[in-house]
Every structure is written in C-alpha cells, then in structure tokens.
Chains A and B, each alone.
Chain A
C-alpha cells in the first residue's frame, strides 16, 4: 500500500499504522487480569512450585519409572481383556443412556408439541415438559463417580456399577442436548406436517430427524468416547476395566505397567476419535 492510499489519520500520525481497537483490547486484558488474579490466589494456583528442585526430582523419578514398558504376553492378554471390558462398559452404559434419553428428549422438546402450534402451550403439557427437564438436570448434575460409589455399595464391585453410573449421567446429558439440537434449526417442515394431520412421531421421523441426524450422531459418538474415558475413571472405584488395573499398578509402584496401560488408553481414545470422524464424514 503506497503512502497516497493511507487514511488521513494515519498520515497525520506520521504514516504509522495504528490499531483502532488498541484501547478496548488493553481494557479487556486488564479487566481479565483483575478478575483472574484473586481467583488464582484463592485457589492457591502456583504452577512455579512444580519447578522447585525437590518437586522436580520427584516428577522426574516418577516419569523415569515408566521405562522400560512392560509388554510380556500374559500382561498384554490381561490388558486386551480389560480394554474390551472398558469398551463394553462404555457401550452398554451409552446404550442404556439412549434408552433413557430418547423418550425423555421427545417429551422435553417443544418443537413437536401440538398445543404449542397455536403459539402458547397448554398448562399440563408445559408442566410435563418442565418435570422432564428437571429430571434430566438431576440426572446429569450428579457426577458419574458419585453414582458409581453409590452403586458399588448397592450391587457390589464390578462392571454393573459402572454401567449404571454411566447410563444415568449420560442419559441426562444426552436427553438435554438432544432436545436442544431438535429445537435448534428450522422447524417449518415439522409444524407443517403436524398442522396437516400427521402424528408427532411421524413429524419427528419424517421432518425433524433427517435434518438433525448428522448432529445427533456426531454428539452421540462424542459421548461414547467420553464414556470410554469415564469407564477408566470409574475403574478406580471398583468398576473394573483399565482403570482398576491402572489403580493396582500405581499402588504397586509399577511404572512400566502404568505406562503400557496409559499408551493403550491413548490408542483407544484415538481409535474412538477416528471412528467419530469417519461417521461424521459418512453422514455429511
């Protein structure tokens, strides 16, 4: 850009380019620092503690214990078995969560409400929708770790507690997000079908579902990937799978086994991510 093309204000300041939003950027940056500083102090956020000599030695010793990896045949057979158990726990949990979430999302969404077609929903359908949404809030508010601790006391150690914990928490999450996905976007086709006499389920299957199928499937696969990670965490409270083996190996200070289990876990999550990307491409 030549000097003759520069705006007059820039020419007046000696030809230097000036950021017109500089003052607002500085203002928001200072405001963010003023808000975050007391939060950091209250939570004792001191990352420089990690670099103190004693702490650095402990960290390096811990990382050094990861080598060499343990990969003998018997251990790898156990890892394969527990990996399958982790995937199975996540899959069974998400399947039960879908059994819970799908009917609840259909009841919670306003788009397929017949009384709302006239503009104002009737009282009892509105109360029912409020009740369903409140149930979804309760289900997803309690972390799956807490549910798992409760179910371990009820059904004992094993995958049942983990599956039930994932089913309840993820049922609440899936139901809420499904309802919001269905309510977003264009609802003209759905309302047209319902105004012309189709049932709510028909309007859902023929109008609502096709337009949101990719987004629903993408979110479901993402939640399945989250459930795999949750299964590992739930293993620490006795639900079995890779998490329980990880807990056992850490208690035995066997860094090699811990490293192998962590690498297998990373590979598992990467595989789930690959499946999710393939499915999104296939649906779009």
Chain B
C-alpha cells in the first residue's frame, strides 16, 4: 500500500485516527460499540 505523503515536504501528516497497533484505539472503539449497542438494545422511549 503506497504511503501517503504531505504536499509540503519535509512536514509530515498527522497520525491516522485509528491504528491497528494502538491498544487505546481498540479500547476507544470497544467503548463506542458498547455505548451504541446499549442505546440501540434498550429501545428507549
């Protein structure tokens, strides 16, 4: 996969929002899934 490069070298782009190697990213995703699943499954009035 070709790596993205900034339009104005030598400056770098910011890191991606989600990285598979980042445990905090997985934790945040799991938290988001838990919150959304909670609201959806409860079928609140």
Contact = CB atoms under 8 A, between A and B. Distances in A.
B6 interface: no
A156 B44 CA distance: 11
Contacts of B37: 88
Interface in B1-45: 23-24, 27, 34-35, 37-39, 41-42, 44-45
B38 A92 contact: yes
B45 A160 contact: yes
A35 to B, nearest CB: 46
Contact of A88 (B24, B27, B42, B45): B42
Contacts of A91: 34-35, 38
A92 B27 CA distance: 18
A92 B39 contact: yes
Nearest to A283: B24
A279 B35 CA distance: 17
Given A91-B34, A95-B35, A282-B23, A84 B45 contact: no
Given A89-B38, A159-B44, 13 more contacts: A88-B37, A88-B38, A88-B39, A88-B42, A89-B42, A91-B38, A92-B39, A95-B35, A155-B45, A156-B45, A159-B42, A160-B42, A282-B27
9 contacts: A85-B41, A85-B42, A88-B39, A89-B38, A89-B42, A95-B38, A95-B39, A160-B44, A282-B27
